[in-house]
Amino acid sequence: MIPDDDMPLLCHRCGADLTPGKGNFYVVRIEALADPTGPRFDDEAAGWSAEDIDAEINALIDEMKDLSEQDMMDQIFRRLTIHLCSRCYREWIENPTGN
């Protein structure tokens, strides 16, 4: 996604000016998804009563009561698009976690 002509396009890492059509930047799309596998229950959970399950659900709801809808969604799925100049892209792609 390229901003309109009125907005400057800058590298998200170093702030360098980027010029669409000159081939001097990369568009990087990142998707983060919370663990999509179902929950695993240990032997203790197998003996839970309906009341235990209700209590657990209510505790989770209580933990979420102060979170906005966006905060809750960000814990599950996040999509991000960044623009990197050629130099920053070469550094980032070789070591995306920065370690």
**Would you say residue 25 has pLDDT above 70?**
yes
Task: Name, in order, each residue with C-beta under 8 angstroms of 26's C-beta and a sequence gap of 6 or more.
Answer: 83, 84, 86, 89
Cβ neighbour number for residue 84 with a 10 Å cutoff? 21
pLDDT in tens, 42-81: 766 667 788 888 888 899 899 999 999 999 888 899 999 9
Task: Say what percent of the chain tops pLDDT 70.
Answer: 88
Residue 45, pLDDT score: 66
For the cut 70, the answer to whether the pLDDT of residue 4 exceeds it is no
